[in-house]
Structure 1
Amino acid sequence: MPLPRSSVEDGGLPLPEPAAALTPASAAAAEPAPVVLEHPVLKSLLGAWALAACSTEETAAVEEHLGECGSCADEALRLREAVGLLHPAESLDLDPTLRTRVLQGCLDRRPPRIPVPEWATPYDAEVARLDALLQDVGGAEWHAPVRLRWFMGDGPVSRRTTVAGVIAHLLSVDGLVAVALGLEDPLGPAAAAAEDATPAGRTEAFWRASHFPPTRSVRGPWREQSHNLVRTVSFAVGGTSRASEAERGGGSGRLAVPYGGFELPLSDAMLDRAFECWVHAGDIADAVDYPYEPPAPRHLHRMIDLAARMLPGSLAERRRAGLSSAPAHQHLVEAGEPGRSLRLEIEGFGGGEWLIPLDSPGAVGAAEHEVAHVALDGVEFCRLAAGHVSPEEAAAGQDGDREAIRDVLFAAASLSRM
């Protein structure tokens, strides 16, 4: 095996003479000659060039040719546009959980003197996300057509409006919470002219009182009212201990908010407003061709939990209206007692499991009385509860009593309203 070769310095030999500097003429002669390609070859390389898959020499040759050949330049432009369509649409918004994480980090360092109650944070977050979307909506896009969809009876219902009309609808229905908190009614004199105090009645009254279709000017009152709602419920709760009490159903969180036919505790009403804000933000995003992400998982879980808790009441209401036949073996279950139950399994972020009592709104779901099982994706369940997908189209895994499953899916769709 030969010994390793020693360096020049180690051997004591003189250093070699430095290479002579190249003159400009000799440097140009040393460079490789540019690739010369015929027109058919260059034209065949346009697809690879559009995908940035050409070598350095080919790219230089193609781009030099594009400056001389108009037909190839037009074809290259079309190919570059087609390549752009191959990429899936990505949201220009930040991660929906980023705001929550940043706020949580700030609050960990410096706790607020007046914290926002946990049950109001989903509404606060969804209003901020929708407001960020509206920031990018152009003047003409405020009049883009939007179709509000919900489920009534055994079929879908819809109402045509505009992006500005959707914000006017949110302003009108949020006004129910504002009035319950003692704030000014955004409808003003139109509230007295409303045929009923339901969300639909208030919205129609507001639209009629506008005389003209709502414009982008409705964004300001909606933002101000949203901020006032969050501020007012925060001061009403007043601190961490009372926030915990309200979270358990006590304190200001129990304040009744009338919806014209039924009432919701303030804590549930704020979740309801967060849910509708997200749903209609998605409607607006579809109208202006803008991607929109679901809420943060912990906020989505709260919205799903509210819908699951409202299902027994919706089941009973459908039976009273003759839209769902009571099973022959049904028996009256006293409040607080276990009865036949359906296990609702929500998959994905924000999911969980709920036992839905089937025979009475006051009954308690019990695993030992389970007669059916339904599995749904979290966003799909919310689309069903919003009336954006029919019970027959809901992609659900099902097992057990088919009649009970149908009743629950239709009851979920019946939670929707204008």
Structure 2
Amino acid sequence: MSGAGHEDGDWEKHEGYGPRGPDDGAGDSDGDGKGPEPGTAGRAGDGSPRIPLPRSSVEDTGLPLPAPEPPAPAAPLVPLVLEHDVLRSLLGAWALAACAPEETLAVEEHLGECGACADEARRLREAVELLQRPEPLDLDPTLRTRVLESCLDRRPPRIPVPEWAAPYDAETARLDALLQDFGDSEWHAPVRLRWFEDDEQTTRRTTVAGVIAHLLSVDGLVAVALGLDDPVTGGQGTPVAPNPASRTEAYWRASYFPPTRSVRVPWREQSHGIVRHVSFAVGSTSRAGEAERGGGSGKLPISYGDFELPLRDAMLDRAFECWVHAGDIADAVDYPYEPPAPRHLHGMIDLAARMLPEALAARRLAGLAAPNRTTRHLVPAGEPGRSLRLEIEGSGGGEWLISLDSPAALASSAHEVAHVALDGVEFCQLAAGHVSPEEAAAGQDGDREAIRDVLFAAASLSRM
């Protein structure tokens, strides 16, 4: 391979190539042995260019590095001489720090001489500060409530939204605002729904549009009870499936899963319709009208298949799920999402705490929660029994006594056997199935078995 394609001696004919001995004039362009003339280094004997020799670094010589040359002094700025109108036209750019250095100096010297321009410059700087606020652009979740309260204090509504429907109204509005600017890529972003089933976390993969379809389907249980159309079947009457999971699966199948962004319109219209109906409570042929006429008590039963909730609690439940799934959507698109207003969060926590005794009883019947306790501590209905104190800290918190032995027993501080303290948002995440009972950072004191039963009962409240 070393001489292929060349005749004998051809290497000597190529520029800068071929073997050279110590006396063949290497580096000497004229062959006199004196070395190259200045400006001729790296050239062959015929003056043609050769491959340059590698440069050596000063670090290789062992000599100290030369001191860096000091930078040349900057030339002093000389302010431009500009007319008043030109300087006034530069005030906007000056307020935004977009002027050249000479222009900035000219404007600032002019501001010391012209009071009118100085006032205008101050106003522009204040406006720029408002445009460049360091706070996040997301609105405080309590802002909507405060604005509505301020407006309603001045002019009470003719048909007010019931207090127990306000959390649902607020959370659906917040989620709708989050969806406002979503593009196709965000609507198809993957979302994983999470909940607990048989003491194990279960997940289901869907998209942002699929989550909104899920909310539309389950909110339909309330809508049908109020006399609105069933979003799963598109008509009125008995829901096609009373179970939330089966309703969601039915809607997904009918919409050629995964759904698209078009699901936002029917979800939004249905949520508005629910709020309007519970506010007006009209229609003598409507079950809602019969139940709500004369006081808006919210006692209309809403069936979830395996259990029922009165309308006022069902509205809290739907607000809670709307917030939880809005957080799932926000996580999927990497966007921050704040908890509900403290008053609304308190109502959601209160609903979960009131559902815990029934959840404990169901787990005992299923053999999942200390079955021996049922017979050992069975108490008659209305009698005080063993209780656990649930302390929820932070925004929307409070204290609840949870009956441990029977849903019909009275919770009593005199029979308190355990105490659990949890942050409000973390308790809601536990009840939503997003945090496992083992991972819940709970302050615990007392009967460990009772504490475990309550934490697992809270996780069992979750569903798809």
Residue type at the aligned position of 1:350? G
Q: How does 1:226-375 map to 2 (within 5 A)?
A: 226-236=271-281, 251-328=296-373, 330-375=376-421
Residue type at the aligned position of 2:432? A
Which structure has more RCO (C-alpha within 8 Å, separation ≥ 6)? 1
Judging changes above 3 Å, is the alpha-carbon distance between structure 1 residues 197 and 391 closer, same or farther for their aligned structure 2 residues? same
Deviations 1:357-392 (A, max 9, x none): 000011111100000000000000000000000000
**Structure 2 residue 426 is matched with structure 1 residue 385:** no
Structure 2: segments with no counterpart, 5+ residues: 1-73, 78-96, 102-133, 284-290
The residue aligned with 1:409 is 455
Given that 1:91 and 1:290 are in contact with CA atoms closer than 8 Å, whether structure 2 keeps it comes out as no
Given that 2:229 and 2:235 are in contact with CA atoms closer than 8 Å, whether structure 1 keeps it comes out as no
| Secondary structure, aligned partner of 2:400 | strand
Q: Which runs of 4+ in 1 moved over 4 A?
A: 189-196
| Secondary structure, aligned partner of 1:264 | strand
Judging changes above 3 Å, is the alpha-carbon distance between structure 1 residues 138 and 270 closer, same or farther for their aligned structure 2 residues? same
Q: How does 1:99-118 map to 2 (within 5 A)?
A: 99-118=144-163
Query: Which structure would you say has the larger Rg?
Result: 2
CA distance in 2, matches of 1:354, 1:237: 36
Deviations 1:91-132 (A, max 9, x none): 532111000000000001111111100000000000000000
Given that 2:233 and 2:240 are in contact with CA atoms closer than 8 Å, whether structure 1 keeps it comes out as no
Judging changes above 3 Å, is the alpha-carbon distance between structure 1 residues 134 and 164 closer, same or farther for their aligned structure 2 residues? same
CA drift of 1:190 comes to 9.7
Residue type at the aligned position of 1:341? S
| Secondary structure, aligned partner of 1:254 | coil
Judging changes above 3 Å, is the alpha-carbon distance between structure 1 residues 358 and 106 closer, same or farther for their aligned structure 2 residues? same
| Secondary structure, aligned partner of 1:354 | strand
Judging changes above 3 Å, is the alpha-carbon distance between structure 1 residues 90 and 399 closer, same or farther for their aligned structure 2 residues? farther
| Secondary structure, aligned partner of 1:340 | strand
1 or 2, which has the higher helix percentage?
Answer: 1
**Number of equivalences:** 329
| Secondary structure, aligned partner of 2:421 | strand
Deviations 1:144-184 (A, max 9, x none): 00000000111100000000000000000000000111111
Aligned match for 2:265, one of 220, 227, 242: 220
Given that 2:175 and 2:322 are in contact with CA atoms closer than 8 Å, whether structure 1 keeps it comes out as yes
CA distance in 1, matches of 2:202, 2:257: 24
**Structure 2 residue 166 is matched with structure 1 residue 125:** no
Judging changes above 3 Å, is the alpha-carbon distance between structure 1 residues 109 and 193 closer, same or farther for their aligned structure 2 residues? closer
CA drift of 1:136 comes to 2.2
CA drift of 1:263 comes to 0.3
The residue aligned with 1:155 is 200
Residue type at the aligned position of 2:281? A
TM-score, normalisation: structure 1:
0.75
